[in-house]
Amino acid sequence: MKKLNRRNFLQQTGYLTAGAMLGSAFGAAAVAAGKTQKVKLSGHIWAYASKFPPKWDSTPVIEQAFADFRFAGLDGMELMEVNLRHNDAVAHLGSLAEQYKVPVTGASYNGSMWDSEKHAEILDDAALVISRLQQLGGKTFGVSVGDAGRIKTEAELDAQAQLLNKLIPLCDKHGIVLNLHNHTYEVKNSLHDLKGTLSRIPGIKLGPDLNWLIRGGVDPVWFIHTYGKQMVYMHLRDQDKNGRWTETVGSGVTDFNKIAAALREQNFSGRAAVELAFDDPPSHPLKDDWKTSVDFIRKTFNWA
């Protein structure tokens, strides 16, 4: 589950602006030289969920999200786990997906998987969410393993790997691909948390949030070149030179041309999602921000 206090994790990294200046020409040329790829682009619903702390349940306004995504031309919607806990979730969300022609393509999921005492509870809850996601036709399950508020012990890393090793076949059984979705805590401290999981489950699929990588002090281009073969998903967001989120993707300093070139070099063929987030109230209708972001991403990445 996303947390509203994202800005507490903010870490400004110098390579962000430098990359925008040094890599733009190379990146633009590399993208222009490549062929159009058929990468589907979903939207994550955090922009709506952020209005409903502390449970982040966007269900009261979920129809508006479907309408906005349809207007923007998004290929699908990534839900949060809380949306799928409602008893009428399949009927309600399925009806809206059909009405607006915006399929449910996946869901994000957060749990304290490092805490072995919570494993039974998380496994039962995840099983419910995964089953309902399958009924809606979703194919991706972006898992965050939970923030301990400190560097996790080896025993805690063992525990989260044990639970992930139960969730992966559960997803497989339902025709869904589990991927590790990062915030900052997984990638800070030289990727301690993420590397702890990868050392225990080397082949696990990855679904990085590229903006959280930046805020955790990790160059997303380096990450793509290092782990790109395991990437099946990603989140895209932008920020300005002061580290504040921009209203649309493409209006900040993130070097998306260079990121696009790296993805092309790694032959990325998964799915991506736009995830808008705001430090200040948006100045335009949200549907317009979605469309501006979608148009920029498709043009920059050469995605059909």
List of domains in the chain: 4-9+41-301 (3.20.20.150)
pLDDT of residue 37: 79
d(CA 165, CA 79): 23
Note the pLDDT of residue 108.
Answer: 98
The pLDDT tens digits of the residues spanning 277-299 come to: 999 999 999 999 999 999 999 99
CA–CA dist 298, 177 (Å, integer) = 24
Mean pLDDT over 100-120 rounds to 98
Distance CA 163, CA 113 (A): 7
What was the pLDDT predicted at 6?
A: 37
Give the H or E element holding residue 274: strand 271-274
CA distance 6 to 88: 30
- Confidence bin at 34 (pLDDT 50/70/90): low
| Nearest-angstrom CA–CA distance, 304 and 138 | 20
Specify the pLDDT at position 177.
98
Question: Mapping DSSP to helix (H, G, I), strand (E, B) and coil, where does residue 90 land?
Answer: helix
pLDDT greater than 50 at residue 26: no
What's the pLDDT score for residue 2?
40
| Confidence (pLDDT) at 21 | 39
pTM above 0.85, yes or no: yes
DSSP SS3 for 16: helix
Average pLDDT estimate for 104-120: 98
- The DSSP symbol for 56 reads T
Q: pLDDT at residue 57 above 70? A: yes
Give the phi and the psi of residue 133 in degrees, each rounded to 5: -65, -40
Q: Sign of dihedral through CA atoms 15, 21, 22, 26? A: positive
Confidence (pLDDT) at 14: 41
77-83 average pLDDT score: 98
In this structure, how many other beta carbons lie within 10 angstroms of the beta carbon of residue 33? 10
For residue 128, what are its two tokens?
């419910």
The residue-averaged pLDDT of 200-210 equals: 98
Strands (E), 176-270: 177-180, 233-236
Q: What is the signed CA dihedral for 150, 144, 85, 125, rounded to 10 degrees? A: -80
Q: Are strands 233-236 and 140-144 parallel, antiparallel or unpaired?
A: unpaired
Residues of the chain above pLDDT 70, percent: 88
Q: What is the pLDDT of residues 230-275, one digit of tens each?
A: 999 999 999 999 999 999 999 999 999 999 999 999 999 999 999 9
Average pLDDT estimate for 85-107 = 98
**112 vs 186: CA distance, rounded Å:** 13
- Model confidence at 67, in pLDDT bands (50, 70, 90)? very high
